[in-house]
Amino acid sequence: MTEKINRIVLAFSGGLDTSVILKWLQQTYGCEVVTFTADLGQGEELEPARAKAQLMGVKQEHIFIDDLREEFVKDYVFPMMRSNALYEGLYLLGTSIARPLIAKRQIEIAKQVGADAVSHGATGKGNDQVRFELSYYALEPGIKIIAPWREWTFKGREELLQFARDHQITIAKDKEGEAPFSVDANLLHSSSEGKVLEDPAKEAPSIVYQRTISPMEAPDKPTEIRIGFRKGDAVSIDGEALSPATLLAKLNKLGHDNGIGRLDLVENRFVGMKSRGVYETPGGTILLQAHRAIESITLDRGAGHLKDDLMPRYSELIYNGFWFAPEREMLQALIDKSQENVEGEVRLKLYKGNVIVTGRESPKSLYSSTLVTFEDDKGAYDQKDAEGFIKLNALRLRTLGQRRKKFEK
């Protein structure tokens, strides 16, 4: 017997899967469904989602379409960028970082409308189910979660299509039949996986790429830009102050035009399998290189190396869905402390898929030309001091060497 539910808040895109889920929830649980559609800069018109929800019987006051672009970049992307986060050394976590914000807003809506359950369209094979649900539970421990892909009997897309036809659910023409691959997008990136991408030995077809032109087709002349930073966050491009979302959107355009940010990756999912994905993160790729460049002159060696040591752990927490976990918040506090003096400007050349740092300057720079010069440093550094420094550091190595020589035959 299906558990009695009074009202459900569904993360609703208006696509095939969540449209079928909406009807299935209405039929299976016999209750009101509230739809929530987040504008995270995916580049799609979202009003059709409103029309579809209305057509399927959702009350006007129970249809939420929220523009979360600025909050997404300011409170999620930028804090993550301060850490230089890369999952498995390559992935800029574009999908992972969006899920906690969607979940947070869903829980807020559930409280607002008096819902006792939330629902999502993530499958039982992927990471997103974990990310959504860990966030739900962290924010509202007693919430009921409905994950249709783990409950219903549909075995594939064709059965979903037939259900949609049977219930007069509008299906976009390009969804009729087998889709060549699955796409997730937001202001930070686009992610493509499945179908034509399932064989990691085969090159991804050109149709997969939507956020960037091919590096081979990019202009033969480099694009030169300057990015300004304050407390570790990018705040300007070419001297113009910009909001977080506006800045990232502008970097995305620059990255797109210069073929920057493509990644073909086989990664280890949290649920245990390997998967192949093609990612495009044009603005984020530029931002990462620029941030590391400004850190190189403003961050102390010990602080910088500690950050680099912790970054894989921090990235894994985000990838696995632990954004609201205390250990992520603890690491964030350490990272944010390190960024207090990370300010200044970085000069870059964007050229055929490459982000080339050409200069960096800061009023809080730790770089000293007096110390590093090969010319007369006017007594700032006594080179004779290096002898004692080396001998002290070599003491244990010399002791080991003496023991080895003592027992050599």
Active site residues: 17, 99, 128, 182
Element (H, E) at 284: helix 282-298
Q: Would you state the torsion angle of the CA atoms of residues 367, 368, 369, 371, taken in this order, to the nearest 10 degrees?
A: -130
CB 123 within 8 A of CB 25: no
Q: Can you name the residues that pair with 228 across neighbouring β-strands?
A: 236, 345
SS3 state of residue 34? strand
CA dist 279 and 197 (Å) reads 12
C-alpha distances in angstroms, 384 versus 368, 370, 387, 389?
19, 17, 6, 9
Question: b/e string for 139-163 if b means 16 or more Cβ within 10 A?
Answer: bbeebbbbbbbeeeebeebeebbeb
Question: b/e string for 316-328 if b means 16 or more Cβ within 10 A?
Answer: bbbbbbbbbeeeb
DSSP code string of 173-225: GGGSS--S-EEEE-SS-EEEESGGGS-TTSPPPGGG--S---GGGS-SSPEEE
